[in-house]
Amino acid sequence: MNINEFIQSVVITSEDLEHLGEVGYTDGMSKILTKAMRGIETTERPMHCTDVKRETIYVRKDDAWKKDDDSEETKRLIQHIAHKNYKALMEWRNEHPEHAEPDTADYEAWYSISRNMCNTDPSALKKLIRHLALTTAVEKNQLIT
């Protein structure tokens, strides 16, 4: 599976958004990405980390494996999933009409989700890259040469 196919296949649920609202951006996004990666056989994943310590990640793009220098593809993946979160929030709002009424549970949930989706802290991105490295790690004996 190529990275673009993977991005398209990720589905953000209401539960994912609510979890993100409860635990914060980094942990919420980590869960979404982990769930999506673990739903795919290791040999079919679009990413593999060959060295967790150095965060050496290879990405399958255009039917070829390429080293993700400077984590550019990994960052792009995270940005696309974050964008999917925003789209899913619009659907969530339609399913929860009381989100606009202060002092309701839906309003509190909407506020928490919205606040936690807007994380621009560079350390959060680094943590997500590290998490993806751990999630997609493969042992040397699993590599096909």
Each residue of 99-142: pLDDT tens digit?
989 999 999 999 999 999 887 788 999 999 999 999 999 986 66
Q: What is d(CA 83, CA 29) in angstroms, rounded to the nearest whole number?
A: 11
Residue 46, φ and ψ in degrees, nearest 5: -85, 0
Domain ranges of the chain: 3-142
Q: What is the DSSP string of 51-83?
A: ETTTTEEEEEETTEEEE-GGGHHHHHHHHHHHH
At 11 the pLDDT is 96
At 143 the pLDDT is 59
Assign residue 24 a region: left if phi > 0, alpha if psi is -120 to 50, beta otherwise?
Answer: left
Burial of 94 (0-12, 13-18, 19+ CB in 10 A): exposed
Q: Is the distance from CB of 36 to CB of 133 less than 8 angstroms?
A: no
Each residue of 22-53: pLDDT tens digit?
999 999 999 999 999 999 999 999 999 999 99
Q: Tell me which amino acid residue 64 is.
A: A
